[in-house]
Copies of this chain bind each other. A is one copy, B any other.
Amino acid sequence: MPYFDAASAAPLHPVARQALLAALDEGWADPARLYREGRRARLLLDAAREAAAEAVGCRPDELVFTSSGTRALHDGIAGALAGRRRTGRHLVVSAVEHSAVLHAAAALEADGGSVTEVEVGRTGRVDPAAYAAALRPDTALAALQSANHEVGTEQPVTEVAEACRAAGVPLLVDAAQSLGWGPVAPSWSLLTASAHKWGGPSGVGLLAVRKGVRFAARGPADEREWGRAPGFPDLPAIVAAAASLRAVRAEAAAEDARLRALVERVRTRVPELVPDVEVVGDPVRRLPHLVTFSCLYVDGETLLHALDREGFSVSSGSSCTSSTLEPSHVLRAMGVLSEGNVRVSLPRGASAEEVEDFLGVLPGVVAAVREQLGAPTGASDAAATSEELVVDSLGKRCPIPVIELAKVIGDVPVGGLVTVLSDDEAARLDIPAWCGMRGHSYEGERPAERGVAYTVRRRA
């Protein structure tokens, strides 16, 4: 049964499993203790730290193990901000960071600090010049992911780091999605990662802080991990995380090439096989294993369930929960279609056969969902009935507003207007995206008595 959601959580790597089992026997004691079980645990912890630091590209005493990537981000951002509080309370992030970064930014704003979100282009890539322009004299910290978790686009970390260096601002790089594939260019000041993204166990994040970077850990004092990650360390998981990072790195070059070709196949074939699809994300500067596309006239959750019934596990929309109904902040920042969004992220070892099976199943699944939702199948052959039409989609969830728009566009003449009334936030993204895909003009939005009125001019 193909599992294609490695970007959420990768299945445990065999080396991780083996190391975990060994460390359950050897590493359960408190590494701070003086007796033999404690000394043995300390040796394992030290060795894991050295191995992880080598893979990260830092000194062992710059690296601590946290309980998750989210904790590494929350605590890393808070500590870096506190360490430079005298400089100011301004944080720069890209608009497509992981929600853990954006939540930390929101916490800063709630506490009286300020945040600049640097916009991205349609591929999800941040412009280094725009990022540099956001840096201010009171900027305490800048954060940028190494690669995007939803669309796979690599960020220009080296260029942004250079701008940060010139401005004297430390740069935190969230390397959660990329660390298993290779080290981040060494220009970062802080770096975070998450073991279960590379095939390590859950329960382990990494937080590296370069010597010389001002850092003041927040929260109550604690003796563990130099005060940067409180609580008894989960040593078996840490040992497994370090061992598996080393193992996946050894396989990375070969697996990168193999999966990159499979993803390229998906990027090429999906638009050929499924009508009205937009493949998003940078086609070249991208993670090897991840591809995202959006299908017009399709509801993402329904599509996921349908693919699940066919045996394919993929993800959609927002990266963090299944319960979020809002469109993904990443797709919104990119200005691309969000409806019918599918993220395919191949785990190591995914086979060409599994990918072909997926490509074989996808067109029928999308067609069935579209039929079920009553999506238009071609150009309307009705004669134009009016110069201007209003479609009331109030109370209807995405993709219904776009489907209803598509159904009536043929009812106005070329140059005529259709206005869609919608109270679904996704319409703000998807109606302009539909116009772009269909060659119509998006004329803008205005508040309506209920919801928002989106106006489209028929061009073809």
The distance from the CB of A99 to the nearest CB of chain B, in whole angstroms, is 8
B232 near A234: Cβ-Cβ < 8 Å? no
The distance from the CB of A17 to the nearest CB of chain B, in whole angstroms, is 6
The distance from the CB of A140 to the nearest CB of chain B, in whole angstroms, is 16
A313 to B30, CA, bound (A): 11
Name which of A3-11, A55-63, A395-403, A422-430 contacts chain B.
A3-11
How many copies of the shown chain assemble into the complex?
2
A103 near B220: Cβ-Cβ < 8 Å? yes
Assess whether A180 is interfacial by the CB under 8 Å rule. no
Assess whether A205 is interfacial by the CB under 8 Å rule. yes
Assess whether A329 is interfacial by the CB under 8 Å rule. no
Contacts of A71 on B, CB cut-off 8 Å? 67, 230-231
- A30-B9, A220-B100 known; A304 and B35 CB under 8 Å? yes
A307 to B37, CA, bound (A): 13
The distance from the CB of A226 to the nearest CB of chain B, in whole angstroms, is 12
Name which of A148-156, A194-202, A270-278, A287-295 contacts chain B.
A194-202
Name which of A127-135, A167-175, A320-328, A406-414 contacts chain B.
A320-328
- A32-B323, A35-B304 known; A202 and B236 CB under 8 Å? yes
Assess whether A38 is interfacial by the CB under 8 Å rule. yes
What interface size band does chain A fall in? 35 or more
Assess whether A69 is interfacial by the CB under 8 Å rule. yes
The distance from the CB of A238 to the nearest CB of chain B, in whole angstroms, is 9
Residue of B nearest to A74 (CB): B220
- A194-B232, A203-B67 known; A322 and B219 CB under 8 Å? no
The distance from the CB of A117 to the nearest CB of chain B, in whole angstroms, is 15
Assess whether A442 is interfacial by the CB under 8 Å rule. no
A:287-335 near B, CB below 8 Å: 301, 304-305, 307-308, 312-315, 320-324
Contacts of A10 on B, CB cut-off 8 Å? 28
A301 to B28, CA, bound (A): 22
A8 near B34: Cβ-Cβ < 8 Å? no
A301 to B220, CA, bound (A): 27
B24 near A232: Cβ-Cβ < 8 Å? no
- A74-B219, A222-B103, A232-B9 known; A237 and B34 CB under 8 Å? no
* Other-chain contact of A1, B5, B36, B100, B304 (Cβ < 8 Å): B36
Residue of B nearest to A311 (CB): B36
B24 near A9: Cβ-Cβ < 8 Å? no
Assess whether A338 is interfacial by the CB under 8 Å rule. no
Contacts of A33 on B, CB cut-off 8 Å? 5, 8, 313, 315, 322
Contacts of A54 on B, CB cut-off 8 Å? none
Assess whether A177 is interfacial by the CB under 8 Å rule. no
Contacts of A68 on B, CB cut-off 8 Å? 67, 230-232, 234
A257 to B315, CA, bound (A): 52
B322 near A32: Cβ-Cβ < 8 Å? yes
- A29-B9, A30-B8, A223-B320 known; A205 and B231 CB under 8 Å? yes
Q: A29-B313, A32-B322, A32-B323 known; 15 other A-B pairs, CB under 8 Å?
A: A5-B29, A9-B28, A12-B24, A21-B21, A28-B196, A33-B315, A38-B322, A67-B71, A68-B234, A70-B222, A103-B220, A103-B221, A201-B234, A205-B231, A223-B323
Q: List 23 A-B contacts (CB under 8 A).
A: A5-B29, A5-B30, A5-B33, A5-B35, A5-B37, A10-B28, A11-B28, A21-B21, A28-B201, A32-B320, A33-B315, A34-B322, A36-B313, A37-B313, A67-B67, A68-B230, A69-B232, A103-B221, A107-B219, A196-B232, A202-B232, A202-B233, A234-B237
Q: Which 9 A-B pairs have the closest CB atoms?
A: A68-B231, A203-B234, A67-B67, A35-B313, A103-B220, A70-B231, A107-B220, A104-B220, A8-B30
